[in-house]
Structure 1
Amino acid sequence: MSRVIHDRREAKGRETFSRAHDFDADVTEGFDDAHRLFDDLRERCPVAHSNDFEGFWVLTRYADIEAAMDDSSLFSTAVQNVVPRVATTGRRPPLHLDPPEHTPYRRAISPLFRRERMEHWGPVVRGIARRLFEPLVPQGEFDLCLDYSYHLPIHVLAEFFMIPDETAQRVRAIGKEFNLALQTKDVAAMQRTSLFLYEVAQGVIDERKARPLDPTVDPTSALLAARDNGEQLPEHLILGTIRQLLVVGIIAPTTFLGSVGVHFSRHPEHFTMLKDDPSLIPAATEELLRLYTPYRGFARTPTREVDIGGRTIREDEPVALAFAAANRDPEAFKDPAEFRLDRTDAPPHLAFGRGPHMCAGAPLARLMLTASIEVFTDLCDGFELVGETPMTTWPEYGPISVPLRLR
């Protein structure tokens, strides 16, 4: 089904639909503006349309987004997975495929994120976080994104993929460039750096084919060993999967940790609370993920005409599922704009999605985030914001620069 949908969309081109323009999406924002927009849309127009980015719908209510993510037969990810469309190169499973096509890729990589493996990775990630943050402390002032969070995920992923040191250094440099290009919508730089990452992925495949590693600990070996109905997975799609895994964890930690820096500068009492009781850091990380969800939301495309909230969405019109809006929906979360650690009766936040395309790497991402907050609270007494925080825009949410002074 997903391949047919994709081919049909490519054949018909990017048709511009005549629709109401309920909100402006292609705008310059401040730190709080996206949440103000979603609060407004949830109240007056929870299923909204914008003519920006070639036209798209956005769902803002938790219940609507939950239902869409759970129904991959109606809401396909194979056509367009973010708004605006940014993919410029090949298809990258599992994100670019619907079930059941995506399932062999998920089945191959999911065991790499099981609890036992995360117990192995915990000390490694904490060590990287400390090594990157510790030199910043004597400076007193630094940019939390440019000097720390741009680097952290790239270092972690280089270790995760067991990339040789020389290649890892290049991945770190290009990864930062790709990250910045994506945040600033520099299409030429995105294409250039994306192609480099494909070259890295192909190099890793060639190395693992010549010298396989244990598929229970190495992502590339796991994909090469995987079988679908007894057949090997197509190598060009294994290439796409590795390329996707190389970058999927780069963007979100960068902007999210920037948001954490802003939050702690606004709420020093929360920083002090975690410094005094580090056992609260995992729960605080989940609440911060709810408050500052780093993806506004991934996109889906209806396979047929569908009515939601009194609005009719046509087949093939892109729909952004606004995770950031759902996670502040007052119908799902009491006092949704407040930082609270007692939400025992609340539903799970959607920062990592849910359903068939829930983020497979969420356990590793959580390790990076909790390790960072642990290191922050261990090595300093708090943050003070000392400059502007330019923001990314769709599909991400969060600052791309956070200049801080240590308290």
Structure 2
Amino acid sequence: MAVPQDYDPLAPETFDSPHATFAELRRSCPMARSEAFDGFWMLTRHADIRAVLDEPLLYTTRVRNVVPGGSATGRRPPLHLDPPEHTPYRRAIDRALGAARIEGMTAMIKGHADRLLRAYRHAGGGDLVDLYSSPLAALVFADWFFLDPNQSAHLWATSKEFVKAWEHFDAEAVSRTSATLYDLARDLVAERRRHPRSPDHDPISSLLAATDADNVALPDEMLVGCVRQILVVGLVAPPIFVGSVAVHLSRDQALQHRLRAEPELLPAAIEEFLRLYTPYRGFARAPVHEVMLHGRTVAANEPIALAYASANRDETVFEDPDCFRLDRPNIRQHLAFGRGPHRCAGMAMARVELLVAVRALLDGTTRFELAGDVRMSGMPEVGPIYVPLRVV
């Protein structure tokens, strides 16, 4: 007999259905319960999610930082740690994502996007995620990590297998591919010990140069875990987001034409698309002691999923939340990159990558439209993982 629940993340989804579900939960059940994935709670309102993110000492990432899942292969900072333990890892990552480093990568990102888009258009289109946005994300991370072509191919192939394992909730495949990623992380750390690069440009060298509050080098396994964490963190969300934008612009040909003709509007458009199509619903926290939220008791260490995608369409914060509006006066209130000490470290690079990716798609085509049904991701993401387009 099925267990009654407020939210079923395993229900089939269309491109629009998750947002309709979130809207109903915001209205009638803002603290929802699901028995999937060993059971979890889910917050859907902007104010509630923001309040949790603003209290990292009460709502920890140590127990569960994402639904579904948990670390079966060791702790991976900074996401698996709370302040102040997470801070030296976060500072090291931030150091390798400075403005000069991102500016230096912009031309490389554009080169990758233009080359992939030419091949995509020559083929007449196809699955935008598999042929364009996913390989682009892999190439961007390969550049950031200074990977050679063999390492880049290995990372992309393993990461694709890892993501598919999550999509099918295949625990054995997740464990196997995660172990492969750990092996790659160990190899990269050993290589950087032999041949260090500038800590201002290379995240691994920056981590190796970092110390904790007592001026002690970071522990080897935690350092490897951190590299393993960031190897894949930027390979999942950007492809889904670019796919969502492509679906939206396929449906709104007038906006597609306008953004192609007026590229100066793209930075504001990307920010509004980030609000509309935030690709996360499963980042999680757990209270360190029992709490009461919307009349429901949450025990210590029970996971609470934070539906960023729902928060960013909260009608009490964003007027006409399901509509695309350029230059929303309060657009900076969106939570697409999270908030607080675990706010996305790579958000500046992500904004550049997404802007370049969408502009290349527009510049490299005169028109594109959907050529079939999209296929949606499972939790913790939300958005399309298969976007068939016909391009001209």
TM-score (norm 2): 0.96
Aligned match of 2:279 in 294, 298, 304? 294
Instruction: After superposing the two structures, state which structure 1 stretch, 105-114 or 39-48, moved more.
Output: 105-114
1:295–1:323 contact (8 Å) kept in structure 2: yes
Aligned position for 1:98:
82
2:95–2:199 contact (8 Å) kept in structure 1: no
Alignment of 1:79-158 (within 5 A): 79-158=63-142
Residue 75 of structure 2 aligns to a residue whose secondary structure is coil
Q: Within 1, Cα distance between the matches of 2:318 and 2:195? A: 50
The runs of at least 4 consecutive aligned structure 1 residues that moved more than 6 Å come to none
Pair 1:259-2:244 in alignment? yes
Aligned position for 1:178:
162
Aligned position for 1:311:
296
Alignment of 1:52-71 (within 5 A): 52-71=36-55
Aligned position for 2:199:
215
Q: 1:345 to 1:396 in 2, by over 3 A?
A: closer
Residue 11 of structure 2 aligns to a residue whose secondary structure is coil
1:342, CA displacement in angstroms? 2.3
1:83, CA displacement in angstroms? 1.1
1:337, CA displacement in angstroms? 0.3
Aligned CA-pair RMSD: 1.4
1:346, CA displacement in angstroms? 4.4
Pair 1:194-2:205 in alignment? no
1:184–1:392 contact (8 Å) kept in structure 2: no
1:224–1:232 contact (8 Å) kept in structure 2: yes
What is the one-letter code of the residue matched to 2:171? Answer: V
Aligned position for 1:406:
391
Aligned position for 1:374:
359
1:307, CA displacement in angstroms? 1.7
Q: 1:116 to 1:266 in 2, by over 3 A?
A: same
Pair 1:232-2:217 in alignment? yes
Q: 1:86 to 1:140 in 2, by over 3 A?
A: farther
* Per-residue CA distance 1:343-402 (angstroms, 9 max, x = gap): 113442111101010010111111221111110111102321111211112110011111
2:68–2:282 contact (8 Å) kept in structure 1: no
* Per-residue CA distance 1:196-224 (angstroms, 9 max, x = gap): 11111111111111111111111111101
Q: Within 1, Cα distance between the matches of 2:316 and 2:193? A: 51
1:151–1:176 contact (8 Å) kept in structure 2: no
Residue 397 of structure 1 aligns to a residue whose secondary structure is coil
Residue 257 of structure 1 aligns to a residue whose secondary structure is helix
Q: Within 2, Cα distance between the matches of 1:68 and 1:267? A: 36
Instruction: After superposing the two structures, state which structure 1 stretch, 371-380 or 382-391, moved more.
Output: 382-391
1:69, CA displacement in angstroms? 0.4
* Per-residue CA distance 1:202-249 (angstroms, 9 max, x = gap): 111111111111111111111011011210000101101111111000
Q: Within 2, Cα distance between the matches of 1:86 and 1:71? A: 21
Counting aligned pairs with the same residue, the percent is 48
1:332–1:346 contact (8 Å) kept in structure 2: no
Query: What count of residue pairs does the alignment treat as equivalent?
Result: 389
Query: Could you list the runs of 5+ residues in structure 2 that have no partner in the other structure?
Result: none
1:275, CA displacement in angstroms? 0.5
1:20, CA displacement in angstroms? 6.3
Q: Within 1, Cα distance between the matches of 2:46 and 2:328? A: 16
* Per-residue CA distance 1:55-107 (angstroms, 9 max, x = gap): 11111110110010010111001111111115332211000111111011001
Query: Could you list the runs of 5+ residues in structure 1 that have no partner in the other structure?
Result: 1-18
Q: Within 2, Cα distance between the matches of 1:342 and 1:312? A: 39
